[in-house]
Structure 1
Amino acid sequence: MSLFTRHPRTRWIVPGAAVVLVAGVAVGANAATTARSSGSPDLPPTTAEQLLVDLQQPTAQALQGTATVKADLGLPSVPGLTDAAGVTGPGPAGAQGTSGALSLLSGTHTVRVWTDGKASSKVAVLADGSESDVVTNGTDLWVWSGAKRTAAHATLPASSGAKEKQRAQGFEGLTTPDAVARAALDAVDPTTTVTADGTTRVAGHDAYELVVDPKSSDTLVDKVVLSVDAKTHVPLRVQVYSTKRTAPVVEAGFTSVSYQRPAASTFEFTAPKGAKVTQLQVPSLSGLALGEQGGALDAQKPDVVGKGWDAVAVVTLTAEQRQALAGDQAGPLLRTLPTVSGDWGTGHVLTGTLFTAVLTDDGRLAVGAVPTSVVTAALAHTK
């Protein structure tokens, strides 16, 4: 299964920063695509419905390219915050620190991507003079942190392991245009209007622009713009806009891309001499995406209140996680956050450009791409 045709139901939860983005998409108007300016390519008219079909049926399966990932989610700068929480969000490094997923939620990063369109893929995040990689080659998964010189390895079964392979290949998190596009297009419901709106050029390729526009007035997501390669139907750039900013708050786009199949050697990995290597069992792969201490939050199924863009996920933290968040690293941040209260109890609220999170005094974490009032209403509903 290729990098571009996997569409698992997506929820992004990064407990250390209390971030979640819940997206819902529905087919809307059939507006014909027109060029936005004289500099835009003149492409044949198309519709939103056709572009959604095209995204599911790319004519190119393999690719190699370089992308830039930019994010401004309004997260506080707290060194070691992911260590304090004991978890790290889904990402290419599967590790903590500057090369972990939390760093991808702030600033600008360079990412290199390779896929053979079959069972092999590689994502490399370049940061601070080091490289962090996720490599899959059919039966092996390697996660490498150059900053820490640590590697994690798991053997994926050749048969009856399709689900684990899909999960392993989905570790790119926020690191590729396709990953962000999947998150935006995964859930289809009537909460969204989708239109074909203009043409553009990305990384030297002509592209159509597909605009995902929430109907809800409660969500903090203003719109999502996907640039789709006119020839191959591969998503080349995804821009997420907030109601709080005029510029995109999340943008992942290729700066160069080729649809040439990478050499098989690209997906070979050998841990450098002296590196610490951890062997993982297949059932623990879900934990790898959340950090070295395992997938405690991944194993907990959150209560989801609402649908689509208004959805709020509520999860009860373990005693260990609550203790870590109250520690020397995250504790000072939590104590500076505004307090909120209601029939559901009391807690502290963290707001960003695309999310609101409330950590209650009784150990519940509620997050959503909505204002504070919607999050607290969800807490009251699940009390």
Structure 2
Amino acid sequence: MAPNAPYEPAPVRDEADDLRSGRRKAARYLVPVAVAGVAAATIGLVPALASSGDPDLPEISAQELIEKIAASDTEQLSGHVKISTDLGLPSIAGLADSFASGLGDEMKGGKDVKGAPDPQSLLLELATGSHNLQVATDGPDKQKVTLLGKDSDVSLIHNGDDAWVYDSGSKEAVHSKAESGEEHGKDEPAATPKELAEEALKAVDPSTKVSVDGTSRIAGQDAYKLKLEPKQSGSTIESVTIDVDADTYVPLKFAVNSTDGGKPVIDAGFTKIDFSQPAASEFALPKGAKVTEADDLEKDLGKHEGKHDKGDWDKGKWDEGKGKDGDLGGGMNVIGEGWSTIATFDTGGQGMPDKDEMKDVPAEVGGLLDSFGDKVSGDFGSGTVFKTRLVNVLMTDDGKVYAGAVTKDALVQAANGAK
């Protein structure tokens, strides 16, 4: 089937995530890694699946397909999702654990928190390699995503007003109150092809070429392939493809392709899917689980927070200033628009650590920073660009950060223009 003419919908603006996650001095060493990892997880979690032949389906325009995705009322499904991410980074599967072990006593008042799973460390783990997920959803108030591990699994469960993060190995869970309905998950990273597709389609504007690029067969389902391409120069993204079920119009597969060629940077898709109602037990915490309240962990952290050296990170200029092109809140600003958007924020004068400071940094972190950082200079001064196949981050020596799915030259140009 020949591709349809490009469709250019009206601009849609999405609320940006607030990245005020780092309070501690040590956290700034992980800024480039965190930005790259979280961005990768938000843009999409991952797999290229073999096709058994492209099905012959009725022609549909890109506009019609987008409208059908938006109008899809399928709210019940379960299945397996394979995730493969190739950002061009060394393996950082153990990086979060290494970092947490060094700060565990400091952050948690001496408590052993190994059994309390941390969603942020899961994001770091998903930033490289291949992973398998089990997913289930039954309407807006019941969702479950399980990351299948070698020795244990970690599940994020939402059921009405309750949410848990559960580790099957330790049989421990952290419980918190969850917003129900549409409010739930709006600030959470996307975890399924449907959520990833929704995030991508929110960003579609006149800078995007949209077309239907043939058909495919994913997890036994006939699908249309929707293709998004940037019209602007300077982006590291060659295209985003979304395979959409031809019957339910649920996105089945999501892939991000880099301008450097090769396999997709991010490739997430169902290997098995069932559109029947999942069992109610899917959304219940297993019996015998040891539950810790998230509020109690926060209280413990608050009591102990004054005992460590916060450094200048806490004194940063997170809440100062407005960006040239827009203020994202919390001190984060946005430069540019569309595929060339760059997020920028000020760490409060703290650039990359010097050699003496690096002595206190876990070896895994130091090696990671050295492996994908390039020194750059310009009108803004000097700094380091941390490169991946998708997201690049410039950290200037005076503590300003510029990040986006753009080239190194685009980051340097943005920093020069902001001076």
Which TM-score band applies after superposition, normalised by the shorter structure?
A: 0.7 to 0.9
Please name the residue that 2:274 is paired with: 258
Please name the residue that 1:95 is paired with: 119
Which of 17, 31, 52 is matched with 1:15 structurally?
A: 31
Please name the residue that 1:312 is paired with: 342
- One-letter amino acid of the structure 2 residue matched with residue 328 of structure 1: V
- One-letter amino acid of the structure 2 residue matched with residue 60 of structure 1: T
Range moving further from structure 2, 308-317 or 324-333? 324-333
Map residues 1-383 of structure 1 onto 2, 5 A cutoff. Answer: 9=15, 15=31, 17=33, 18-19=35-36, 20=39, 39-78=53-92, 79-80=94-95, 84=99, 94-95=118-119, 97=121, 100-146=122-168, 150-156=172-178, 163=183, 165-167=184-186, 171=188, 173-270=189-286, 272-273=288-289, 275=290, 277-280=292-295, 300-317=330-347, 326=358, 327-329=360-362, 330-335=365-370, 337-383=373-419
Q: What number of residue pairs does the alignment pair up?
A: 340
Contact 2:91-2:128 within 8 A present in 1 as well:
no
- Over 3 Å counting, the alpha-carbon distance change for 1:141 and 1:223 in structure 2 is same
Pairwise CA distance, 1:82: 7.5
Alignment partners' CA distance in 2, 1:136 and 1:182: 19
Alignment partners' CA distance in 2, 1:306 and 1:147: 45
- One-letter amino acid of the structure 2 residue matched with residue 131 of structure 1: D
Larger Rg: 2
- Over 3 Å counting, the alpha-carbon distance change for 1:318 and 1:266 in structure 2 is farther
Q: Please state whether the residue corresponding to 1:373 is helix, strand or coil.
A: helix
- One-letter amino acid of the structure 2 residue matched with residue 153 of structure 1: H
- Over 3 Å counting, the alpha-carbon distance change for 1:83 and 1:10 in structure 2 is farther
Range moving further from structure 2, 229-238 or 347-356? 347-356
Pairwise CA distance, 1:39: 2.8
Structure (1 or 2) with the greater strand fraction:
1
Gaps of 5+ in 2: 1-12, 20-29, 44-50, 104-116, 300-309, 311-315, 319-327
- Over 3 Å counting, the alpha-carbon distance change for 1:301 and 1:64 in structure 2 is farther
Alignment partners' CA distance in 2, 1:318 and 1:147: 40
Contact 1:345-1:360 within 8 A present in 2 as well:
yes
Pairwise CA distance, 1:166: 3.7
Pairwise CA distance, 1:50: 0.5
Please name the residue that 1:29 is paired with: none
Pairwise CA distance, 1:358: 1.2
Contact 1:9-1:187 within 8 A present in 2 as well:
no
TM norm structure 2: 0.71
- One-letter amino acid of the structure 2 residue matched with residue 49 of structure 1: Q
Pairwise CA distance, 1:310: 0.4
- Over 3 Å counting, the alpha-carbon distance change for 1:272 and 1:312 in structure 2 is farther
Measured against aligned partners, the alpha-carbon deviations of 1:282-330 in whole angstroms (never above 9, x if no partner) come to x99xxxxxxxx9xx98973411111011011112236899779954222
Contact 1:152-1:280 within 8 A present in 2 as well:
no
- Over 3 Å counting, the alpha-carbon distance change for 1:38 and 1:118 in structure 2 is closer
Please name the residue that 1:30 is paired with: none
Alignment partners' CA distance in 2, 1:41 and 1:10: 38
Seq. identity, %: 32
- Over 3 Å counting, the alpha-carbon distance change for 1:104 and 1:132 in structure 2 is same
TM norm structure 1: 0.78
Structure (1 or 2) with the greater helix fraction:
2
Taking only aligned residues, the RMSD between alpha carbons, in angstroms, comes to 3.6
Alignment partners' CA distance in 1, 2:170 and 2:353: 25
- One-letter amino acid of the structure 2 residue matched with residue 41 of structure 1: P
Alignment partners' CA distance in 2, 1:231 and 1:313: 38
Alignment partners' CA distance in 2, 1:145 and 1:96: 14
